[in-house]
Amino acid sequence: MKKIITLGEVMLRLSPPGHQRFVQSQVLEVEFGGSEANVGAALAFWGHHAIHITSFPDHEIGWAAKSALRSNGIDTSFVQFSEGRMGIYFLENGAMQRSSQVIYDRADSSFSRFDGKNLDWDTILEGSDWIHWSGITPALSQESADLTLKALQKANEKGLKVSGDLNYRSNLWKYGKAPYEIMPKLMELTHVMIAGIRDFNQCLNQRMEDFEAVKDFAFSRFKQLEFISKTERISHSSSHNTISGALYSKDKSYYSKSYELTHIVDRVGTGDAFGAGLIDGLLERHDPQEAIEFAVAAGAIKHSVPGDILNCSKTEIEELIAGLSGKIKR
């Protein structure tokens, strides 16, 4: 069991049941999720001590959000309540050739307005092994960018490993800064980056086209960087994807097996499940090959579970890697 910190916004997710469209639905299913907390929840499910840092509005919906984190095993001792709304995202689950749709309603959320001044990072980081952030947070607001920087600086001081999922989203970055003005500072403080070509290009204001070049550029620019990882996904339809992943150290590349995913239940949070698998893999497994296999299988099996959160055991994931799946377990 390791102690792992995650930092980021948690939103209220509202989705029509089954394959209904928004316009058809008389009820919306409630989940609470966010990229970084999703990572923490999977790690907590596997027995790690996962602490999530975030802030909610101080009313019943905010309390319900905290309760949801707790039910997922996350340590919420440092969760704050502060001014602002509850971030919301509306998710319509696609099916067949119809795409899933996300409508974000997250502007002016408590988290995006949260400056973290009252957080005691020394206490939070005490005895911790790892901190995980994503590129979504610095894209929300100057406060969020500053908060991320502060956390990473403190974590580096304390000797934690830092992972970051660059996760560039074009519909964010509305507060007057471009990614390349903010991200490089954060990347310098990071040991493990999850990112594809587009993420690197956006964050570093580049236009590279070949991942080999991107990878070399990154390793040369960021001295502290130990690993880059990414997933490959082919979306045949909302119900059928193919996924695999790769992990790169400065001088070696590790490729996972590929999974054919049909009958997809819930596509959301699969990247976060991959991230959690990668962190656990790098922390608990000696071999990077095993780490990337575990990460990809974690991401793959998440597609079978409704909601943002991966709640599959390591045994289930390892059985998937071993090719055992689909029999009734009695």
DSSP annotation of 328 reads P
Closer by beta carbon to a second copy, 2 or else 267: 267
Question: Is 158 in contact with 120 (CB distance < 8 Å)?
Answer: no
Q: Which of 207, 223, 252, 263 binds a second copy (CB under 8 A)?
A: 263
Closer by beta carbon to a second copy, 72 or else 190: 72
Q: Which of 1, 47, 71, 178 binds a second copy (CB under 8 A)?
A: 71
Question: Is 275 in contact with 165 (CB distance < 8 Å)?
Answer: yes
Distances (CA, A) of 124 to 4, 53, 218: 10, 9, 30
Report, in Å, the least distance between residue 223 CB and a second copy: 33
Q: CA-to-CA distance for 313 and 45, rounded, in angstroms? A: 7
What string marks each residue from 164 to 183 as x (binds a second copy by CB under 8 A) or -? -----x-x------------
Look at the block and give the residue holding tokens 């059928």: 240
Binders in 104-133 for a second copy, by CB under 8 A: 104-105, 107-108
Of 63-71, 131-139, 205-213, 215-223, the segment contacting a second copy by CB under 8 A is 63-71
Q: Which of 2, 3, 215, 303 binds a second copy (CB under 8 A)?
A: 303
Question: Is 197 near a second copy (CB under 8 A)?
Answer: no
Length of the chain: 330
Of 69-77, 118-126, 135-143, 151-159, the segment contacting a second copy by CB under 8 A is 69-77
Question: Is 258 near a second copy (CB under 8 A)?
Answer: no
Of 139-147, 148-156, 201-209, 231-239, the segment contacting a second copy by CB under 8 A is 231-239
Long-range contacts of the stretch 63-72 (C-beta < 8 A, 24+): 64/32, 65/10, 65/12, 65/32, 68/10, 68/31, 68/32, 69/10, 69/32, 69/37, 69/41, 72/41, 72/44, 72/45, 72/309, 72/311
Q: 211-249 burial, b for 16+ CB within 10 Å, e for fewer?
A: beebbeebbeebeebbbbbbbebeeeebbebebbbbbbe
Q: CA-to-CA distance for 216 and 250, rounded, in angstroms? A: 8
Other residues' Cβ atoms within 10 Å of the Cβ of residue 77: 10
Question: Is 60 near a second copy (CB under 8 A)?
Answer: yes
Interface with a second copy (CB under 8 A), residue total: 80
Question: Is 81 near a second copy (CB under 8 A)?
Answer: no
Of 13-21, 141-149, 198-206, 216-224, the segment contacting a second copy by CB under 8 A is 13-21
Question: Is 55 near a second copy (CB under 8 A)?
Answer: no
Closer by beta carbon to a second copy, 97 or else 224: 97
